[in-house]
Amino acid sequence: MAELLNQYTEESIKSLDWREHIRLRPGMYIGKLGDGSSMDDGIYILLKEVIDNSIDEYTMGFGKRIDLRIAEGMVTVRDYGRGIPLGKVVDVVSKINTGAKYDSNAFQKSVGLNGVGTKAVNALSAWFRVEAFREGKSKAAEFEKGVLTREHKESATDQQNGTLVSFKPDETVFKHYHFISEYVENQIWNYCFLNAGLTIHYNGRNYLSKNGLLDLLTRKTNPETMRYPIIHLKGNDIEVALTHTGDYGEDLYSFVNGQHTTQGGTHQAAFREAFVKVARDFFKKDYDAADIRQSICAAVSVRVQEPVFESQTKTKLGSLNVWEGGPTMRSFVYDFLAKELDNFLHKNPSVAEAMKKRIEQSERERKELSGIRKLANERAKKANLHNKKLRDCRIHLNDDAPSKSKDDFFQKQKESTIFITEGDSASGSITKSRNVETQAVFSLRGKPLNCYGLTKKVVYENEEFNLLQHALNIEEGLDGLRYNNIVIATDADVDGMHIRLLLMTFFLQFFPDLVRNGHVYILETPLFRVRNKQKTIYCYDEAEKQSAMRELGAKPEITRFKGLGEISPEEFAMFIGEDMRKEPVLLHQEEHIQKLLEYYMGKNTPQRQGFIIDNLRVEKDLVEAMGL
């Protein structure tokens, strides 16, 4: 004990400047780092922090356009707001807790509140440049990893007022990072939906919404499965759009001051609760809450003074009051819906009737499944799930987080991953090489059933689906989801591709929220190992193989991996660790689930036949080029 005390001396106390602290503890400022394969990875938070400032200018009535360009890892954002006061250009991006958001007269109901955002971007960028244009003058400064490298003098300019920020994320922090265009476009559309009339010009294309959340739901829903026209309600500091569809699950989008709160919060919880109560009151029947919200597609946006978010990334609202001394978020949302939605349903009886029919359909389906669910749950217990099908990770062997280590638990929960694989050899390799703390393995037995067009009854009647559902804990929705990352790990051959397709069909058909919320991925493993006596290079495609051959020269040894089981556990550990490559399963804004499934998994239409023939031709040419 005395030895430990002697190790804790004055030298143990360290003071870090703002830049060092951000670079040492980036998770405190931008959440997880990642490589860009997840929508909440750090590079998208950097982008958001810069654009948020431009959005705040727009909401204050300055500048109706934002220009955004991303090319070769470099980001440039130009707005046409008031421009940073020239004397403070360096300070606002390099002095912590410095900014105009503390002045409620300069910014009201803004997103950026803590004076941290652009400082984090600056500190975590290999190169960062800011330039302000204001009343015919400009001022610029350049930084590297947060360190000022050049401060330009004020000069005359003919540029419009506004601010120009350019940055390149630091590759030593964000390893192998890449921006996925679909994620960026999703961010942009959300900004536009929440700021009707704002134009964002991104890489040659204009994004604009004229009808706010009505446009958002129009893009998110398939008119063929929509049960009634979208209900669009607007009030002071609140906007709501909602409808019911034919899909399973709840599709909810919530926003605070123009910020997409992907993890919800008090406003989203208030909407879910208020919608149930208003529906029960209007129809004068005590429907089950799950039946009312089943198949709903809705968006809610609120404007709040001094919102309290649960982290710097602002993905979950924690504040209870809409404004100081005002109503709680729960009563604010409920009072709005109780008046506006109730009035709408009285004035539109056909919509009310369609909503009632959809709720009662969900009620019938739930009751029809109740008996089957009970038997399925018993079967799952008898199958001894945790020992046979699922090799769980340690953080879930006891799902109660120890109170003294909750922060550590929740961080590991973000990292929690389940690999879904097929066959003993593949599951064996992953099981031996995984991180047992945060990574689990679920082993399939053969190919899953093609469940397109089937009802949810099959989820309980099919043993594989029933056990997978229990392993993920998604029977009642995503609130209990046990793994943040669901990774489909199959061989890179025809059978493996087929299994991927069948699993994606299962998720899209019955649990589409998993895909919409970015939880489902495809594991990428190397196709080739190229090595000589000095060096080994793993290659994920033909181009990487050719590059490796040129690098190693003199006829290196080349191994073609035909299946996951051929990769040794020692090698596999390198591919599912910190540098794991995984591609997200994405839904494009314009794609609707049932149309997508019908095209790929429905009847053999001429269109699909053409698609298959064209892609078989490409595959054949690729195989011949690879000499396989």
* Stronger pLDDT, 17 or 322, i.e. the higher one: 17
- Find the mean pLDDT for residues 215-219: 92
- Give the pLDDT confidence of 557-572 residue by residue, as tens digits: 999 887 787 888 888 8
CB 82 within 8 A of CB 161: yes
Query: Tens digit of pLDDT for each residue in 2-24?
Result: 555 556 555 655 556 778 888 88
Q: Domains, the chain, ranges and CATH?
A: 19-208 (3.30.565.10), 213-365 (3.30.230.10), 385-529+538-626 (3.40.50.670)
**With contact defined as beta carbons under 8 Å apart, do 338 and 280 qualify?**
no
Of residues 88, 94, 98, the one with CA closest to residue 132: 88
Average pLDDT (363-383) is 77
Q: How many beta carbons lie within 10 A of that of residue 155, not counting itself? A: 9
Measured between alpha carbons, how far is residue 533 from residues 545, 549, 551, 557 in Å? Answer: 17, 13, 13, 9
CA-wise closest residue to 518 among 168, 44, 76, 201: 44
Closest C-alpha among 213, 206, 259 to residue 234: 213
pLDDT at 398 (0 to 100): 56
Kindly report, residue by residue over 399-453, the tens digit of the pLDDT.
544 444 445 555 667 789 999 998 777 788 888 899 999 999 998 888 888 888 8
Percent residues over pLDDT 70 in the chain? 82
For residue 77, pLDDT over 60 is answered with yes
Predicted confidence at residue 374, as pLDDT, reads 75
Looking at residue 561, its pLDDT comes to: 86
- Position 377 scores a pLDDT of 73
pLDDT at position 383 is 62
pLDDT score of 279: 95
Tens-digit pLDDT profile for residues 233-280:
999 889 999 999 988 888 888 888 877 877 767 888 889 999 999 999
- Percent share of the chain, pLDDT over 90: 40
Q: What average pLDDT is seen over the chain?
A: 82
At residue 308 the predicted structure's pLDDT band, cuts being 50, 70 and 90, is: low
The closest of 200, 290, 206, 302 to 253, measured between CA atoms, is 302
- At 25-46, the pLDDT tens digits run 887 788 788 888 888 889 999 9
Q: Which pLDDT belongs to residue 152?
A: 94
Looking at residue 100, its pLDDT comes to 46
Q: What is the pLDDT of residue 613?
A: 63
Q: Of all helices (H) and strands (E), which one includes residue 76? A: strand 74-79
pLDDT (tens digit, 9 = 90+) per residue, 158-195? 999 999 999 999 999 998 899 999 899 989 999 999 88
Look-up of token digits 């506006």:
340
DSSP string of 139-189, one letter each residue? EEEEEETTEEEEEPPPEE--SPSEEEEEEEE-TTTSTT----HHHHHHHHH
Average of per-residue pLDDT across 84-107: 68
What pLDDT, on the 0 to 100 scale, is given for residue 313?
46
What is the average pLDDT across 610-625? 53
Which region among 145-149, 184-188, 509-513 has the lowest average model confidence (pLDDT)?
509-513
Determine the pLDDT at residue 221: 86
Instruction: Note the pLDDT tens digit of each residue in 530-548.
Output: 999 899 999 988 889 999 9
Give the pLDDT confidence score for residue 318 in this predicted structure.
57
In this predicted structure, what is the pLDDT of residue 226? 92
Whether residue 622 is predicted with pLDDT greater than 50 in this model: the reply is: no
Residue 133: closest CA among 196, 200, 71, 62: 62
For residue 79, give Cα distances in angstroms to 46, 54, 88, 485.
16, 6, 17, 35
Q: Is the pLDDT of residue 477 over 80?
A: no
| CA pair distance 454, 466, nearest whole angstrom | 14
Instruction: Assess contact for 301 and 238: CB atoms under 8 A.
Output: yes
pLDDT for the residue numbered 289: 93
Say what the pLDDT of residue 610 is.
67
pLDDT of residue 7: 64
Measured between alpha carbons, how far apart are the two ends of the chain, in Å? 64
pTM of the model: 0.75
